[in-house]
Structure 1
Amino acid sequence: MSDSPALPAFDPRRTALIPIDVQQGFDYPPWGPRNNPAMEVHGQRLLAAWRARGLPLIHVRHDSVIEGSSLHPTHPGNAFRAGFDPLPGEALVSKSVNAAFIGTDLDLRLRRLGVDSVALFGISTDMCVSTTARVAANLGYRTIVVADACACFDLHDEHGRTIVADDIARAHLATLRAEFAEVVDTDAMIAALHRAT
């Protein structure tokens, strides 16, 4: 059973699920040790729940403009992880910066769908998920981050000391919860979806 806060009522028809950068490139250097090995399982549960109900779904892929990046379109790492490819007819937004709204038509797509809420998950918690959540909130969307369907990586501080991924995730999710988003886990998100539909 979920220990996440229950999600207040929401309208699933006006809530887009947005998987962010669930790509193979994060298995290549320079990405380091990752937290949350269950991220893919939870993300696939969310996708299945949204697809079963025909709800708004927009995939986001990072197409790096940096030659040699593991997320560059010419690199095999640009491909989606197993189980996360868009199905025929599902929308795909390509971005080259952290926020999925910058330099893309994501905002226009959402508004044309009549969406006023977004549920975000993917890689990485502290970078593209967090940045997209902050921009979404600033644009006026009700923003939900599904924490256990996100993952991030160990980083080094200015002294070369390792900050482990779990600590990074906890800090970023706390910041998002304080100011920008509702932070829940997959069980809570799907339970709210069942209640609403």
Structure 2
Amino acid sequence: MNATALIIIDLQRGMLPENTGPRNNPQAEDNAAHLLHAWRVRGMPVVHVRHMSRSPEGSFWPGSSNCEFQPRFEPLPSEHRLEKNVPDAFAGSGLERWLRLRDVHHLVVVGVATNNSVEAAVRAAACLGFDVAVPGDACFTFDKADLGGVVRDAEEWHLMSLSNLDGEYAVVTRTDEILARLG
């Protein structure tokens, strides 16, 4: 897995539990932190992605403390960071070029929200020819109403999103399985 990059999506202060509504996977950040530690110990490529709002009314307007990375996910100087304004981390960000220049073909994608920015990035990555793994226990999402107005819990959205990705866009796995493959 030496040519494998860890892509950390939107683990910003605005996503801390005190700033969000009901969610699933309370251990997701711990699992993402375990993966980040493993990547750092091995000197493998890490990409930190954060969302920045295009509107001053947005929760992630530049300059807001919500935009800052959560302390344990603060990028090291040697790690790549990028900002996005849409759910897809590849759209207009230069991420594909950054990965290709480093001969990275495999990605492990973690973060929030499973059914939004994580799913968008994974779909784009797969369509661009990257081999993608998603440890579902290192991702999370929130309760949300469906088109019929029925509020569905976060776990339902999470599982549906992972089900959409598995097989065609990514291999959905667990943190312990990724760590075991690293050796």
TM-score (norm 2): 0.95
Cα distance in 1 between the residues matched to 2:73 and 2:18: 21
Q: Is 1:181–2:170 an aligned residue pair?
A: yes
* Structure 2: gaps (5+ residues): none
Match for 1:69 among 51, 58, 73?
58
Cα 1:70–1:28 shift into 2, 3 Å: farther
Which residue of the partner structure matches residue 126 of structure 1? 115
1:129-178 alpha-carbon deviations (Å, 9 max, x no partner): 00000000000000111110101000012333210000000011011003
Amino acid at match of 1:38: Q
Amino acid at match of 1:34: R
- Three-state SS of the structure 1 residue aligned to 2:167 is helix
Following superposition, the deviation at residue 29 of structure 1 comes to: 9.6
Whether the 8 Å contact between 1:28 and 1:70 is mirrored in structure 2 is no
Match for 1:42 among 12, 17, 31?
31
Match for 1:60 among 26, 49, 55?
49
1:22-58 alpha-carbon deviations (Å, 9 max, x no partner): 0111348994211111011101000000000001111
- Three-state SS of the structure 2 residue aligned to 1:35 is coil
Whether the 8 Å contact between 1:63 and 1:95 is mirrored in structure 2 is yes
Q: Is 1:18–2:7 an aligned residue pair?
A: yes
Which residue of the partner structure matches residue 101 of structure 2? 112
Q: Is 1:149–2:149 an aligned residue pair?
A: no
Cα distance in 1 between the residues matched to 2:126 and 2:86: 18
- Three-state SS of the structure 2 residue aligned to 1:103 is coil
Amino acid at match of 2:41: A
Match for 1:166 among 132, 149, 155?
155
Amino acid at match of 1:82: P
Whether the 8 Å contact between 1:137 and 1:180 is mirrored in structure 2 is yes
Cα distance in 2 between the residues matched to 1:75 and 1:81: 13
- The RMSD of aligned alpha carbons is 1.5
- Three-state SS of the structure 2 residue aligned to 1:37 is coil
* Structure 1: gaps (5+ residues): 1-11
How many aligned residue pairs are there?
183
- Three-state SS of the structure 2 residue aligned to 1:44 is helix
Cα distance in 2 between the residues matched to 1:29 and 1:38: 15
Amino acid at match of 2:164: T
Cα distance in 2 between the residues matched to 1:193 and 1:163: 36
Amino acid at match of 1:185: R
